[in-house]
Amino acid sequence: MTNPLTFEDETAARFARRPWPTTSIRPGVEVSFEFFPPATQAGEANLAACAAQLEPLGPKFVSVTYGAGGTTQDRTQVAIRSLEATTTMAVAGHLTCVGATQQQVGEVIDDYIAAGVRHIVALRGDAPEGQTGGSVAGGYRDAADLVAGIRRHVAGTSAEGMEISVGAYPEVHPKAASAQADLDSLKAKLDAGADRAITQFFFDTDAFLRFLDRARSAGITAPIVPGIMPVTNFANTCRFSERCGTTIPSWMHELFADLDDAPEVQQMIAATVAAEQCRQLAEHGVNQFHFYTMNKPEITAATCRILGVTPASVRSRQAQAS
């Protein structure tokens, strides 16, 4: 009896069957990137370097995260102002409503607008460590309520056309009562005025495709952008996945085993896994990808290059559009 193909064998065979592209995987493919706000001067320098490396890939936007209960609010705003001032990329600010009143949320929105932000990623957010619930008197009930509040807040202002993205969970939010309740929540956020959903990262491509089918059957027509997280540190990825309910396939444990002392090999495998995930999604019509960079741009940049998203392809697209 022959041994079954390993994932590496399957990946190599799949690559061999498909010619390497000379252009993007699909016409009009779009990428976006997520950063987290640095806490030190060294982190600020690293974020600047990360942005410089990824900007030539022409992202639709980049986003900056926002800690539980607004714990990184000041650092998020500093990072956003820096990116707005030093890059040409459209910057989206994350915004959570847990632990904040509507007035406090409104002040953050105003700060974003003053910084030039015209895109908000609206999330309910997690309660700060040691707290439960997170709702406060005079606050927003949930993410759908927050989206509606943003729309009211910017109505009649120069930011009235503010883009709003919300979160989605292919493998169901850990605190959702059921998969149907989670889908109903997503529909409520989009019905409240959100433009698109960006998913939690996942590694089971079939889970995303099943979720997308269910969303479309439920009448959701807005874009649902898959969140892709290239593995920069497998142990950390496993910890993140456990907290947010993301499945780590057994073949990933096999691929990344015993690579602590071989970071170059780990990076090559990580880029291959992420690129194959995107290719499989593209074969099903997906043409937008949101990368969780963890402020480590090399693997994301390598993944984009494998997909045909390069500075040269971006310049060609821009020239055709002009």
Q: Which residues are catalytic?
A: 34
Angle, helix 41-54 to helix 73-86, in steps of 10 degrees: 40
In which residue are the tokens 């880029």 written?
271
| Dist CA 126 CA 247 (whole Å) | 20
Q: DSSP code of 107?
A: H
Q: Are 197 and 221 in contact (CB under 8 A)?
A: no
Strand pairing partners for 31?
A: 289
Q: Which two structure tokens, joined as six digits, stand for 226?
A: 């898959």
Strand pairing partners for 228?
A: 291
Buried b (16+ CB within 10 A) or exposed e, 155-179: eeeebeebbbbbbbbbbbbeebeee
| Dist CA 187 CA 173 (whole Å) | 14
Nearest to 83 by CA among 59, 99, 103: 59
Q: Are 241 and 306 in contact (CB under 8 A)?
A: no
| Dist CA 101 CA 263 (whole Å) | 45
Residues whose CB is less than 8 angstroms from the CB of residue 319 and which lie 6 or more positions away in sequence, other chains included: none
Q: Is 138 helix (H, G, I), strand (E, B) or coil?
A: coil
CA 74, 80, 84, 85 torsion-angle sign = positive
* CA 250 to chain CA mean position, Å: 23
Nearest to 147 by CA among 185, 105, 193, 97: 193
